[in-house]
Structure 1
Amino acid sequence: MLNFKQSLPFELLVGLRYTRAKRKNHFISFISFTSMIGIALGVWALIVVLSVMNGFQDELRNRILGVASHIEITGFNNRLSDWQTVAKEVTPATPHGESRVLAAAPYVMAQGMLSYGQAVQGSIVRGILPAEEAQVSSLSTHMKSGQLTDLKAGEFNIVLGSDLAMLLGVSVGEKVVLLAPQGQFTPTGVVPRIKQFKVVGIFQIGMYEYDAGLALIHMADAAKLYRMDDQVSGVRLKLNDLFDATAETARLNTQLKGAYYITDWTQQHANFFKAIQLEKRVMFIILALIVAVAAFNIVSTLVMAVTDKRADIAIMRTFGASPASIMKIFMIQGALIGMIGTVAGAFFGVLTALNIDTIVPFIERTFKVQFLAKDVYYISDLPSKLLWTDVWTILILSFVLSLFATLYPSYKASRINPAEALRYE
């Protein structure tokens, strides 16, 4: 052990000794401790908040794309006549290195009014082909009761979102009335088209916008009700990599010849993801200020430590220690304070981020509160996704701020005149 200590640099040995020594001035120790706690809390909060923001972004993307599509191809006036030709043209595998369209499915999209008893609710009505729909969305995996395959042409069956079914007060097996906004002319005037549908299934995506506002029917029934004839609203595409949607959209715009309007999920839902990204950056800046304030408490700690150790500094200078060595001693002392706080904060932050799905429900049960009301927020559970790149960024930022805070007091310590310091000792 002695040999190990002798092999350590002089500045590191003294810096470690000053850090762990019991000082006569307890106020210095208190300020040092609060600096550590402040840095730890700031790092902890940063890791947890960024992990939650990442979780929200992923959860929102997955839930939206579970119902929406990676790419949509529509025609003029939201109508597409030759959807089979379009689907056949875009689905073959592309050369290596390009994004590949895995599946295509037609759809009819319209608005309608659902009525059951005294309850009336507006809804988006989507006409689908169940077999093809299962290839481009995850709706079939979110069925609470019934199956998408229960939607059969000519039987006028309907599948409702869970919240929409609850608002109407309807369950599987009962019948609802669907009113189409497009009217039909009769001798007595224009009347809305009305058709009775049997509820054969209920789905729950976990996103209130869809659970309370989407109804699914067979595409043939939708075409008949909304007078689409052989036309559809468009074709939905699923890619093997959703992040290639923008590039694939550009390629399809070049490949498809005709009056087609092609959009991808980044265009349709850009506001959601831009808002989350902006919030993440703002939260990072705000919480980084907590770390900065705690780090600069190290300045106060070291200034008082330098004042307390003036005699020691003078003695070391008389024994040949250079100003640079004195500066390194106090930089090591301050860096250790920052490092301990950073490591402690990172440990608890990572632990919290990885177990937030257990911690939050426990707090909600204990205090009888709900952080995210289902009818207010798109996502009612608190998700978390820990990215180690975020963790390392926070660790580096915290340590750099702590190291920067040591520069001024360490420099002042190196400028102490030994003769002046020992005059009154």
Structure 2
Amino acid sequence: MTDPEMEVTEMSKSKYIKLILILGSLTALGPFSIDMYLPGFAGIARDLNTSVANVSMTLSSYFIGISAGQLLYGPLLDRFGRKKPLFIGLLVYIFASLGCIFVQDIDIFIGLRFIQAVGSCAATVASIAMVRDLFPVKDIPKVFSMLMLVVGLSPMLAPTIGGYVTADYGWHTVFFILMYMGIVILIASQIVLPNSYLPDTSISLKPKPIINNFLNIIKEPQFYTYAFAGAIAFSGLFTYVAASPILFMDIFKVDAKTYGWIFAFMSLSFIGASQLNSLLLKKFTSEQMIFGALISQAFVSILFLILAINNYLGLYETIGMLFLFLACLGISNPNTAGLTLAPFSRNAGSASALMGAIQLGLGAFASFAVGIFVQNSVLPMVIIMTTSTLLALIILIVGKKRIKAAVLINR
């Protein structure tokens, strides 16, 4: 439906940068919605007469919503093009954010966060699919690394801004800001983004063809190897995000503003590593980068576990280990995403949706586990991270043996 090589050839540098910024903003909407309200957990629990652990379930419901919603938008983006489903999804996000401003009950809040997630994931799926539409396959990991730079600003800015907004104006104001962001992104995406993919009327929206399409995608060895290895490894990030309010504010007793700055500092690791990835791709293949990153992540997580078991972890030691752990994810994630989508062109929307659903579904599971097990100790968080890392490495090693002819993205 598109010719990415021709698109990039004809694209001016200013248009290229503008496109990256818009796609990055779409991708960052979800992380902002996750990170910005984290400093308000204690205030939300107090205002809604519940516990911080129950408030963390609003994070789990968000992950579940964004995971399920990806499967909804994938076929819609392939059938109707990218912009119409994106418009509808952002409208849903805006109205759900408005509801969160006035919520008075934790159960309703959990439900609204689910709806908000369903809306926001249209932006995530559309942005990933448009990367596959507009750029040559060999450039996809580099584009994803640039998107990581934009996306990486969200965990730097979101909790820091959220901490100050929550302290000075209350947590409700956070959702007013998110609603306004949704409005701005909706307008910008409709005006600036090109129609990168023509509607494909041959794609059926009946349940059976949709399921068969997803089954055909997931049967591709290159897809399931890199999608599951990448998603399980990346669930360590969701574990950290879900555990961080409990970890820093309850266990280590830092205030909301300090928590925001810690979260911002930690994101430097992910951003820096994702940009280092662009440079390393000039010398190494994506396959080599993924394997090296997962080996490093396994070493870091095992060391982290040993320190946690022996009670050697204070605030600064915990920050240091998490910093190293997130750096490994900054290397592996752009490459696993690129290799996962490389075999697909016609149904890139469905492939990116399925990849996102797997990633966010596992993230939801990890955050749910955090809500149950992480109460007054660092150890459960570290156990979840170590388990997911080792499992991802096993899947990568076993799965690569089943890939007969890989669709490569560099070299």
Tell me the TM-score normalised to structure 1 length.
Answer: 0.19
Q: Which has the higher strand share?
A: 1
Give the structure with the larger helix fraction.
Answer: 2
